[in-house]
Structure 1
């Protein structure tokens, strides 16, 4: 779901309004006074002097809210503080059953109203799920946000709405359980989204995957009663500014039991419907780019299967031959995501890409290193490109922390009987996993994002909510659109 976003020349009388004020404001600007009584103005001034970040006036028929920008050292931190205030504001609007709100930007930060609208929309997200009892299905109170005057243009709102739809697509996919989203259904959902947004989808079935000799994807799928898929999402507008495509690769393990190296439960297996969050982020990014007619050629690759211990499941000690021709000794069947990604990274070479970025809920080591606050980043792209991606991460608060890919880490994935082992040492697991992927990402610049921490939250956290966060969509959209020549 998403809120309706609109532009308004002015706010109607007795409507609920939000005024964004500069940091340090102690008296109301004239534009925010309106018909407020002297007592009301005095109340707000006292609250501002007390350094309150959100001030609320209840007029019974309507409400006024005053949101004060934070004093932070960087624009990104100011923006994030405003998003978090937006989440708090959403709670107030929800408690007061406000259906529509008008937002005025009275600060010197041009994007402030858009940032607040973004936070309200992300906070209002609800996974519609499968509830049938009307008592348990609660319709959202807030249904429309109108930005007043020069707070934003109509094109700004259209772009924000397209981006939010991409985030919500990713969240919906991650939140769906296995019995509602197996590999085939996942591929079909991505294709349906492409039809709605404007990108094409080619779904490779089992026979085509076998013909391509994608040994990693096929091995992981051996224990499943359902076939794998390999989805190729392509957005290629006629006015694309890049001659060689950007390729996004997303891990699509729709459920991970760990295979024969079975995960313990609870706490490890019970949330593993989220193990396709990388693939969901790829779909969400393609959706946002296509919906907003961004002039870039972008391809998404999503190998998908579940990882189960049944039937002819691959076993520790097996040796498999990958799409690239390299052989891999399986030391642990729970290190399956890198096998799917390796085939996709090898396949990506045929596109002669400008850059390949993969996203995956790949390792517990990344979570232990960074918790849910950031994603780990590694790769062979040049320092300038890595910095551009990091800068985009700070702008949208989907932050990245770079780890090294020194030659010595290659020793972690040596095998006595094959070219590589799929499991590294007990330490630096997120690095050895990336070092494994590096062997298949040859011939082009490549960046790996381990999103295992922030992709899925077991408890609600500000506007990121609970469950699938859609991490990666806003990051990649910001990064890619910064590549445009204006």
Structure 2
């Protein structure tokens, strides 16, 4: 088979595809597909078999179809177009997913929207690049350097980096406890601000967990295949930073603060010990019940320090915080904790539009109290009592964060959605970082702030 085949895809409505010529493909239930082939080109016509199929499901189904075709044909280039009656949100989601694939993709049928979509694809690519990068390269020092470089070329953005001495002076001992044994990726707090300092509006704060590699610490991770993926534990920082850039590019109407607590969680002589009692910036003591529950510790100090310094209207945290997010909600979903009604509405609408599943959960006192401890104020492994002790890890961990700020807080546990655990992510990544849920957040937060201001 020639290696110069190109693929022309036309997305149609269900009625139109029935009138199209070509061989029926029965490979993927939920899609209607027809295929015709010339010497150098394959023509593919696609439609949903049921209009009730969600955009997230459509993305997943189309990914299966593309995998099927790529196994049969060596494709050099892809061109995407659409027929009448195909909803914008469905077509845009498919176009973005194709833009993340190889080979090259030409998108038609979007008019002036193409440039906006291409910019969004670039932010998603940057997000995936950070998460996929070798952890010996994507260190806390590299994160700090990249943020400082960006600020130097953007007049409306300023950056600040706190090193170990500044962290110690601010009593950010939880952060220092996690990363104190690492020289390769030592503790850093990286901050970027956007907007007019004299603005009448207080900032929206984005906080992202940046554990550049998570060995588990002294409670070392026992599962070899799993620990090899732990370069992704800085996915929260990668998401927060690329969301910050995307919002800046969209002329976001509210000032922004992006806070990235970052280090690695190593094994070493200076590593934190299970059973240690550590008091952080806010004066709350925490018993280190397990060294592999480290993300909430660096977030705790970052939240308390940055809340005092910047007085945000509200805070959104992003973290690959718990395996419970994967075990409880499946491989593609993002649990969202504590979002207020308007934010929940705008994020849910954006989630539906973009095809990235979000699940919303409220504040509940029993999850908050599950973090109390008998020796310290809190422990870093909140558990419910009795037979419920093995569940609700994502919920308990989210409630831990609420102790460290008085500002309204929304938390996204992106452990399941930021990495392609199944090899079948709707994004088409097939391995590594997915880029999710960046597109939902860009759309949803813009809608939220415009509705609020």
Q: Among residues 118, 130, 133, which one is paired with 1:176 in the alignment?
A: 133
1:56 aligns with 2:29: no
- Contact 1:222/1:311 (CA < 8 Å) preserved in 2? no
Are positions 1:360 and 2:319 aligned together?
A: yes
Deviation, structure 1 residue 183: 1.3
- For residues 314-337 of structure 1, give each alpha carbon's deviation from its aligned partner in whole angstroms, at most 9, with x where no partner exists: 212212121112111211111110
Residue 378 of structure 1 corresponds to: 337
The unaligned stretches of length 5 or more in structure 2 are 384-388
Residue of structure 1 in register with 2:114 after alignment: 157
**Aligned residue number for residue 345 of structure 2:** 387
Label 1:84 to 1:355 Cα distance change in 2 as closer, same or farther (>3 A).
farther
- Residue 21 of structure 2 is aligned to residue 21 of structure 1: no
Note the C-alpha offset of 1:342: 0.7
Residue aligning to 1:408: 366
In the aligned structure 1, how far is the partner of 2:63 from the partner of 2:222? Answer: 38
Cα offset, 1:236, TM superposition: 2.4
- Per the alignment, residue 444 of structure 2 pairs with 479
For residue 20 of structure 1, report the CA deviation from its aligned partner.
Answer: 2.2
- Seen in structure 2, the aligned counterparts of structure 1 residues 110 and 183 have a Cα distance that, compared at 3 Å, is closer
Please list the CA deviations of residues 40-74 of structure 1 after superposition, one character each: whole Å capped at 9, or x if unmatched. Answer: x6547999xx9962222212143432222442337
**1:50-449 matched pairs, under 5 angstroms:** 53-73=32-52, 77-78=54-55, 80-81=57-58, 84-85=61-62, 88-89=65-66, 92=69, 95-99=73-77, 101=79, 103-122=81-100, 124=101, 140=102, 142-147=103-108, 151-154=109-112, 156-192=113-149, 199-226=157-184, 227-236=186-195, 243-349=201-307, 350-379=309-338, 381-425=339-383, 426-427=389-390, 428-442=392-406, 444-449=407-412
Change (3 A) 1:360 1:110: closer
Tell me the TM-score normalised to structure 1 length: 0.80
Alpha carbons 1:197, 1:287 under 8 Å: kept: no
When residues 106 and 331 of structure 1 are mapped into structure 2, their CA distance, relative to the original with a 3 A threshold, is same
Task: Classify 1:283/1:436 alpha carbon distance in 2 versus 1 (closer, same or farther; 3 Å).
Answer: same
SS of the residue aligned with 1:107?
Answer: coil
Q: Does 1:460 align with 2:423?
A: yes
Preserved CA contact (<8 Å) 1:216 1:322: yes
Q: Which residue number corresponds to residue 11 of structure 1?
A: none
**Cα separation, 1, equivalents of 2:291 and 2:56:** 42
Deviation at 1:27, TM superposition (A): 5.4
How much does 1:143 deviate?
2.2
For these two proteins, the number of residue pairs brought into alignment is: 433
1:386 to partner: Cα distance: 2.5
Tell me, yes or no, if the aligned pair for 1:175 and 1:467 is still in contact at 8 Å.
yes
RMSD: 3.1
Counterparts of 1:373 and 1:429, CA distance in 2: 17
Give me the TM-score of the superposition, normalised by structure 2.
0.85
* Counterpart Cα distance in 2 of 1:303 and 1:386: 26
Q: Which runs of 5+ in 1 are unaligned?
A: 1-13, 29-40, 125-139
Deviation at 1:158, TM superposition (A): 1.7
The DSSP-based 3-state class of the residue aligned with 1:456 is coil
Distance change >3 Å, CA 182–CA 297, structure 1 → 2? same
